[in-house]
Structure 1
Amino acid sequence: MSDAPLWLQLLTIGLPAAASIIAAISAARFASRARLAEGKAARLLALEERTAQRRGEVYIPFVEALGNMLVPSRQAETVATMEPVMLNFQNFVMIWGSDRVATAFYRFRRASTTSPPAPIIMRLAADLLLEIRRDLAWPESQISALEVMGSRITDLEKGGDLEQSFTMPFDDLVKRESWTPPW
């Protein structure tokens, strides 16, 4: 038998046991917190995926219709089917769209009711498409309205008025075109 006092023997045996029990309890609590955090992260990811899917469902028909408006052979058909596409987009963009898309759509829609000059409506459409692009996939996109619309216009004169419409500040474009925004 050991010469150490009983309390020292109990302490020698009990201290590691107590430390193990405390460690097990702590590990269980941390594991529980980690599972909760993983569950929350999974729910957020699922929400983001549903939101992205819904945005695509809302944006894609509208983007296709705008693109088709720039193709002469598709214009008549697109104009005939544009109203339901526009109404659907208009109904859901304020729910599913980012603030920037909602603002760009508001400006595009309000301007389109005033018969603005072509450079104005083209610029507003380009700004809207750019915001949709940022909303769907590329939030840090650095391309401009020129790249968004310029690739669709075959007779875009380098340095011409229309090209400048896509690159100059919008307020300068409004002044150049002597147009008053309705917002």
Structure 2
Amino acid sequence: MITLGPAGTDAHHIASGLGTTQLVESFPRAMEVAWQQDAHALITPGFVARTAGEISDTWVNLHFRYSGRMEIVRAWPAATKPMCVAVNRRRVPDLSRAESIAIHPSTAVFADRHAAGLRRTFVDAKPLAVALAAEGTVDACIGSLDVVQAAGDLEAVEVFHPQMLWCLYQRTARATTTLAADNLVAVTGSGA
């Protein structure tokens, strides 16, 4: 199973419950490696990439680039790990004093809701946003609560529990998936 890293991403969390997992730097790279290795790729349709603040890639573009080569063999909703807005208290006393925030592009709606007006730095995965806040490059971040707590020096100030959709891909030429439906039920609570 190939999916987005580094360790601590929601993709890593879901994939590790489905079998052996290889983490790569982006969802497009996950699809590429899965194609090359004839392996499964775990991708979320929430995938959005930004370059210089502009949208540079999306799930639909990735999906269509692999049309005829990779196919969705399963799709299901699953809760993300709890997410939060966190602040670096060494930099700012509270969120109202923050000027900057690191986020993954897919979490922009939560930045709009909980941290509107902050200067945004976009990263390729939420653990990278947490790292920028923990090292003091930005005042705040949106990340998974467990990763924020492990980073130290950050305080979660808003916590939320969204749900995401996940798609499992395999090469189109393969007749059946080797992923057991029982594993899918164990991770998601659903066999759909």
Sort the TM-score into its range (normalised by shorter chain). Answer: under 0.3
Larger radius of gyration: 1
**Larger relative helix fraction:** 1
TM-score normalised over the length of structure 1: 0.26
